[in-house]
């Protein structure tokens, strides 16, 4: 039988299925800047204060909206309006008709694959508590398709 993400639309998924699509990369929890005059989006390497920089998961997921009022609850409806999800994001990939990447925990069976492949923010992000002005932390990598590393290969680069 085919996995649920191949047989259901995003809107048909159960809450548990929807939540399991998150690969735990933490890229969506990085602060972004929108330029008022151009509406252009810039990514930073500065993580929300609730993001655990090692696990790349929210440290208080259930109460995150109370602690961080501008935290976005990702839903199928909200996904239609959001333009800042990274190209590696499972929600975005499925919405665009693409497959889940080989390193996604639902494909690999291992929640650490996203980190082993170098896709997550682990080791690349800093907490907003230490960052200061976001303008000094603009980065391109959070908004680009990562060049994931497959463990055990000689050429450690593979485009997702």
- What is the three-state SS of the chain? CCCHHHHCCHHHCCHHHHHHCCCCCCHHHEEEEECCCCCCEEEEEEECCCECCCCCCECCCCCHHHHCCCCCCCCHHHHCCCCCCCCCCHHHHHHCCCCCCCCCHHHHCCCCHHHHCCCCCCCCCEEHHHHCCHHHHEECHHHCCCEECCCCCCCCCEEC
pLDDT-derived band of residue 151, with 50, 70 and 90 as boundaries?
low
pLDDT at residue number 153: 53
Report pTM. Answer: 0.86
pLDDT at residue number 158: 38
| Percent share of the chain, pLDDT over 70 | 93
pLDDT at residue number 157: 41
pLDDT at residue number 160: 39
Q: Does residue 123 have a pLDDT over 90?
A: yes
pLDDT at residue number 86: 93
pLDDT-derived band of residue 132, with 50, 70 and 90 as boundaries?
confident
The mean pLDDT value for 53-74 works out to 93
pLDDT at residue number 159: 40
């Amino acid at each position: 039988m085919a996995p649920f993400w191949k047989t259901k639309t995003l809107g048909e998924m159960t809450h548990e299925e929807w939540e399991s699509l998150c690969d735990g990369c933490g890229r969506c929890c990085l602060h972004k800047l929108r330029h008022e005059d151009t509406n252009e989006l810039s990514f930073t390497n500065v993580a929300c204060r609730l993001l655990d920089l090692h696990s790349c998961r929210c440290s208080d997921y259930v109460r995150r909206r109370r602690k961080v009022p501008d935290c976005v609850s990702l839903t199928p409806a909200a996904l239609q309006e959001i333009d800042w999800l990274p190209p590696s994001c499972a929600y975005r990939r499925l919405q665009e008709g693409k497959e889940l990447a080989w390193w996604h925990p639902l494909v690999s069976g291992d929640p650490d694959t996203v980190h082993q492949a170098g896709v997550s923010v682990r080791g690349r992000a800093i907490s907003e508590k230490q960052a200061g002005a976001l303008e000094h932390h603009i980065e391109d990598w959070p908004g680009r398709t990562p060049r994931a590393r497959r463990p055990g290969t000689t050429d450690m680069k593979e485009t997702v």
